[in-house]
């Protein structure tokens, strides 16, 4: 009886193959990405609905903004290439190149975030802001074109900042995710250091003064995960993180033309 319990059944097909032909973590990530695509789909549809229903939709993106967004797109596309190379390195057991390619992906992702934040700062400085936020003191730009557009078409800043902010949040979480996969516990103090420096250095009227707390939240969640379940992340984990990263890239392939290229002022 004991032997029967220990030995696996001999007959073929006793262990049923997975329904979708993939390991459970991968199926789980795909299902999450499916639900997340609906979140971004809803935001993109909200933006498009506003654009269709408002006759004079602002077109604030000049040649400089388009050039900036193009570089951001190139950064994300290049990060997807380095990510897939990291997955390949993980599959062949090359931990050194797996680490290097993940770091390269994080570099491109961070470049994207910095460029995007600079663009946001420029637009906010020119007067594009949500109605709930007060005008800055002595704002000479309050009569500017973007400030007027924000007042007459409040749907534009609401959907623009909502959509691109959600995407920026996803990229930030993606960089943290990759950092944890590559560096594990060592990444937590780096994250906390970045949060502290950012919080102290950013000016008080910057929206990123509050946004930087995302790094603190990520550090707490990552710390809980790596301390409760410490492990060396294997090729499957790298592939799962790659799926998330490519999804972030994929979403931008729709935001870039719909939001930027369709609203050019050249």
Partner 1 sequence: MAEAAAHHDEGKSQYFWVWAALLVITVVEIVLAYKQVLDPLHMLGVLMVLSIIKAALIIAYFMHLKFETPRMKFLLMASVTACLCLMCVFFADALRVLHLGVK
Which parts of this chain interact with partner 1 (CB under 8 A)?
Answer: 19-22, 27, 30, 34, 37-38, 41-42, 45, 48-50, 52-55, 63, 66, 70, 73-74, 77-78, 80-81, 83-85, 88, 91-92, 239, 242-243, 246-247, 249-250, 253-254, 256-258, 260-262, 264, 266
Does residue 117 contact residue 88 with C-beta atoms inside 8 Å? no
- C-alpha span between 133 and 127 (Å, rounded): 11
18 or 193: CB nearest partner 1: 18
- C-alpha span between 174 and 241 (Å, rounded): 8
Does residue 153 contact residue 58 with C-beta atoms inside 8 Å? yes
Q: Rounded to the nearest whole angstrom, what is the least distance from the CB of residue 123 to partner 1 in the complex?
A: 18
Q: Rounded to the nearest whole angstrom, what is the least distance from the CB of residue 57 to partner 1 in the complex?
A: 10
Q: Rounded to the nearest whole angstrom, what is the least distance from the CB of residue 172 to partner 1 in the complex?
A: 20
Does residue 150 contact residue 166 with C-beta atoms inside 8 Å? no
Q: Rounded to the nearest whole angstrom, what is the least distance from the CB of residue 6 to partner 1 in the complex?
A: 28
216 or 243: CB nearest partner 1: 243
92 or 137: CB nearest partner 1: 92
Does residue 130 contact residue 149 with C-beta atoms inside 8 Å? no
43 or 183: CB nearest partner 1: 43
Length of the chain counted residue by residue: 266
Cβ-based neighbours of 123, under 8 Å, separated by 6 or more: 60, 146
């Amino acid at each position: 009886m004991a032997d029967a319990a220990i030995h696996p059944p001999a007959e073929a097909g006793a262990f049923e193959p997975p329904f979708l032909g993939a390991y459970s973590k991968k199926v789980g990530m795909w299902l999450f990405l499916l639900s997340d695509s609906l979140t971004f789909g809803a935001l993109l549809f909200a933006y498009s609905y506003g654009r269709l229903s408002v006759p004079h939709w602002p077109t604030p993106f000049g040649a400089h903004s388009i050039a900036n967004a193009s570089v951001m797109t190139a950064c994300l596309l290049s990060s997807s290439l380095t990510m897939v190379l990291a997955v390949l390195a993980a599959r062949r057991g090359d931990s050194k190149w797996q680490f290097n390619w993940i770091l390269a992906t994080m570099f491109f992702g961070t470049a994207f975030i910095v460029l995007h934040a600079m663009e946001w700062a420029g637009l906010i400085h020119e007067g594009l802001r949500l109605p709930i936020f007060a005008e800055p003191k002595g704002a000479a730009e309050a009569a500017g074109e973007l400030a007027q557009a924000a007042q007459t078409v409040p749907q534009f800043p609401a959907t623009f900042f909502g959509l691109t902010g959600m995407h920026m949040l996803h990229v930030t979480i993606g960089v943290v995710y990759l950092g944890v996969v590559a560096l594990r516990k060592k990444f937590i103090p780096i994250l906390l250091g970045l949060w502290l420096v950012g919080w102290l250095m950013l000016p008080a009227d910057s929206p990123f003064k509050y946004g930087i707390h995302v790094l603190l939240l990520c550090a707490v969640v990552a710390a809980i995960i790596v301390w409760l379940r410490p492990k060396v992340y294997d090729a499957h984990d790298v592939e799962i993180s790659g799926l998330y990263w490519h999804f972030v890239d994929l979403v931008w392939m729709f935001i870039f033309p719909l939001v930027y290229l369709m609203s050019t002022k050249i």
